[in-house]
Amino acid sequence: MSPPRLWVLTAAAAPAAVILRRGPSAAMATLGWDRDRHQLTPGQPLAGRIAPFRSDLSPDGRHLVVFAGTGHARAQAAGVGRAAWWTAVSRAPWLSAILVVPMADAWCGGGAFTADGRLWLNGVAAAAGEWPAELGPPAGPGAFPASTDGFHLGALHAATQRLRGWIHAGGERYAAVLTRPLEGGWLLERRFVLAAPGRALVAAAHALVEPAGGRRLDRPGWEWADRHGPCLQFAAGGALHEAPLDAVAGIGPARQVADVAAVAVPPRPAPGGAGHGAVR
């Protein structure tokens, strides 16, 4: 059986992260990850899909915004239980929504958090009086570039990654190239591939780039990767790994820090009764 596919949403100002795990089969689940201690906290499963490049984690790691759905049928009513897609905000790593906007299709949707923690929604609007007080005031409509590129990328992902130290080195949408400075002039590079075997419809491809424009050392097994302090962390083979940064070689020997595939995420309500129906 193939290992699950992993993507990680990181908090810009805290060691917290949320893992989006897809698989085995079509099962989806969230898990919290303490990037310092490498502790995993099961969140909730989802009988549907989450668009990772339209989703985000607040700078303090407390709130999660996702664009999710089943894609089965167009919405016939306002209830999210019958909507094909929805934008939802929850208390990480849970998916039970404290704010949910049902949608009929995958055009727009999702959101992002500004550097000071204000939530921006991508082309959707919450119903009057539904904005939770715990989210504070919303971000202005121009806080991020709107993404209306079908189900996935647009320019939103590059904008959220710049808040985390990435550089938009060129290209737009699916042709975007992002780089993350490492030690000794090395770069971590992220590009995007479409319909790659065994990967999501839109997936990230990572490489290490030698200083001064040297060789690109592709890392085809890395589904997600980013710097964390003096280390580089990456997801591969259903697990999380960490390697020390090295000014000469780019990175040192890697070690597995968490087996995400082995963690059970059973259906269960969010703590304290939070949420109203965005999980199914």
Q: What is the DSSP string of 68-118?
A: EE--SS---SS-GGG-SEEEEEEETT--SEEEEEEESSSSS--EEE-TT--
Q: Is the pLDDT of residue 75 over 60?
A: no
Burial environment of residue 15 by CB neighbours within 10 A (0 to 12, 13 to 18, 19 or more):
middle
Total domain count, the chain = 1
70 within domain boundaries: yes
Q: Is the pLDDT of residue 77 over 60?
A: no
Q: Is the pLDDT of residue 83 over 70?
A: no
Lowest mean pLDDT among 78-87, 195-204, 253-262: 78-87
144 within domain boundaries: yes
237 within domain boundaries: yes
280 within domain boundaries: no
At 233-280, the pLDDT tens digits run 999 999 999 999 999 999 999 999 999 999 999 998 888 655 555 565
In this prediction, residue 78 has a pLDDT band, given cuts at 50, 70 and 90, of very low
The chain-wide mean pLDDT, for the chain, equals 90
Half-sphere exposure (Cβ direction) of 15: Cα atoms closer than 13 Å: 11
143 within domain boundaries: yes
278 within domain boundaries: no
Domain that holds residue 211: 5-273
279 within domain boundaries: no
Average pLDDT over residues 187-204: 86
182 within domain boundaries: yes
pLDDT given for residue 207 in this prediction: 98
Contacts of 229 (CB under 8 A, 6+ apart): none
How far apart, in whole angstroms, are the C-alpha atoms of residue 241 and residue 37?
13
Contacts of 127 (CB under 8 A, 6+ apart): 101
Which of 27-31, 101-105, 148-152 has maximum average pLDDT? 27-31
* Residue 13 near residue 59, CB atoms below 8 Å: yes
Place of tokens 């000014």: 247
